[in-house]
Amino acid sequence: MATEVKLLITAVDATKQAFSAVQESAKSAFSGIANSGKSTGSAVASAFDTLKTNITSGFNFIKTHWLSVSAAITGAWLAISKAWDMAQQTASFQQSMSAFRSMVNSMGHDAEQVFSRIKELSGGIIDNKSLVEATNRAISLGIPVEKLGDLMAIARAKSRDMGITAKDAFDSIALGIGRASPLFLDNLGIVIKLEEANGKMAQSLGKSASELTSQEQKMAVLNATIEAGRESLERHDLSVLTAKERMEQLTASVANLRLEVGAFIVKGGLALYGLFQGLASAIALVGTGFMGIGMALTWVTDAVHITSGAYDELKMAMMTTWEATKDLGKQAWENMSAITASSEELMAPRIGQRKPRRKRGRRLKRM
């Protein structure tokens, strides 16, 4: 990123020098043309020749430095692309995190505590975005929130056995439980007997295996998975990171840092957008003022029958402009507020999703 910024500064400096040279040449030439207005036609022709020569030399300067300018433009484009990608990744993470909080809190759990526990049991080897997305998929598949941490620990242990990432192992476990399919679990070396698992669940509920609901069958597979996963947990000391996990932890830290940088880019972009909206609102406000003056004039012209209906038309246009002005002003304020807003506030409902107002009942006077 620092190299790309240096390239951009170099391009700006080189281009600025080139155009400054052209500007000074043009200024000198036009000064000669102005002075030559008092002289002969040959002096005017000479001034134009000087302008042509100076402009040509200025563009030759740009051609000479074209390589550095091209490299700087490419570097700037790469920097902008990376910044945009980080902003998109952050926006996606904030959306997933908002969905996670909504689901977990609605189930009566503290979303922050649940996420912290899952992250702790993951060993920090999965970046926050991937972790919350995997967790959301597991919850959506019907896995209880209180069991997610246990499954993450098993996923870490099995990832060591199978030479895969903990995230991939967790996804496979979630799919195997969510679809009540042992095939996904077999790929991780977690062997369970479906009939036996359903039988144990049915016995604990006091019903037959055929009477188990879809959710109860998932819970049967879940219990069998946790029981089968204990063997791998006993073999691996998850409190000590392997060399591979340390590398994954470093990669996750870099990814989380990109999310932090992306958050600043999102906030900065919203604030800049809000600034433009504020300027547009101010211009529209000035426009409504002129329309007010025009309304006074059209009222007179309509009264003396110079015009017909001009006042009503201008009044309608003024009302429309005024509503647009208020809407722009509100949006500008909300976007400018993004600078100090938290991630939760950024994901909150915005324009067009206002909370309904409560109707106030009228008090009846006692007679």
3-state secondary structure of 189: coil
309: left (phi over 0), alpha (psi -120 to 50) or beta: left
Same domain, 143 and 43: no
What integer pLDDT is reported at residue 181 of this predicted model?
A: 84
Full domain range(s) for residue 169: 107-240
Query: Do 21 and 137 fall within a single domain?
Result: no
Q: Are residues 146 and 218 in the same domain?
A: yes
Q: Are residues 188 and 219 in the same domain?
A: yes
Report d(CA 186, CA 194) in Å as an integer.
12
CB 31 within 8 A of CB 52: no
User: pLDDT at position 287, please?
Assistant: 74
Domain boundary pick from 84, 115, 134: 84
pLDDT digits (tens, 9 = 90+) for 3-15: 544 544 454 455 4
Amino acid 355: pLDDT? 41
Q: Is there a domain that residue 187 lies in?
A: yes
How crowded is the C-beta side of 109, counted as CA atoms within 13 Å? 19
Last residue of a domain, one of 240, 274, 291: 240
Is position 59 within any domain?
Answer: yes
Domain match, 68 and 129 both = no
Residue 30 and residue 152 share a domain? no
Q: Of 125, 127, 98, which is closest to residue 112 (Cα–Cα)? A: 98
Closest CA to 184 of 225, 213, 132: 225
Instruction: Please indicate, yes or no, whether the overall pTM of this predicted structure exceeds 0.75.
Output: no
pLDDT of 114: 94
Task: Answer whether 67's CB lies under 8 Å from 11's CB.
Answer: no
Is there a single domain that holds both residue 75 and residue 127?
A: no
* Structural domain contains residue 122: yes
Using H for helix, E for strand and C for coil, what is the string for 9-38?
HHHHHHHHHHHHHHHHHHHHHHHHHHHHCC
232 and 282 inside one domain: no
> Does residue 297 form part of some domain?
yes
Output the pLDDT for position 350: 43
| CA angle in degrees (0–180, nearest 5) for 299-300-304 | 120
What percent of the chain is helix, strand and coil (3-state, nearest 5)? 80, 0, 20
Task: Flag whether 99 is in a domain.
Answer: no
Q: Which long-range contacts (CB under 8 A, 24 or more apart) does 261-264 make?
A: 261/86, 262/86, 262/87, 262/88, 262/89, 262/90, 262/91, 263/90, 263/94, 263/343
- Residue 13: its pLDDT value, please? 56
* Residue whose pair of structure tokens reads 């547009």 in the numeric block: 280
Whose tokens are 């008092």? That residue is 38
* DSSP letter (8 states) at residue 96: H
Same domain membership, residue 133 and residue 61: no
100 within domain boundaries: no
Cα 271 from Cα 337, distance rounded (Å): 7
**Residues with Cβ < 8 Å from 128, sequence gap 6 or more?**
93, 97, 119, 252, 255, 256, 259
Check whether residue 162 and residue 269 sit in a common domain.
no
Distance CA 325, CA 322 (A): 5
- Give 245's contacts (C-beta < 8 A, 6+ positions apart): 123, 125
Number of domains within the chain: 3
Whose tokens are 């992250």? That residue is 119
Q: Is residue 80 domain-shared with residue 196, that is, in the same domain?
A: no
Q: Calculate the alpha carbon distances from 180 to 158, 170, 204, 214 in Å.
A: 19, 15, 18, 8
Residue 172 lies in a domain: yes
One domain, residues 189 and 270: no
- On whether residue 97 sits in a domain, the answer given is no
Q: Among 209, 240, 271, which residue terminates a domain?
A: 240
Q: Which residues of the chain have pLDDT under 50?
A: 1-2, 4-5, 7-9, 11-12, 15, 19, 22, 33, 36-39, 348-367
Q: What confidence score (pLDDT) does residue 42 get? A: 58
Measured CA to CA, the distance from residue 174 to residue 183 in angstroms comes to 12
Residue 346's nearest CA partner among 32, 94, 155 is 94
Instruction: Please tell me the predicted confidence (pLDDT) of residue 85.
Output: 75
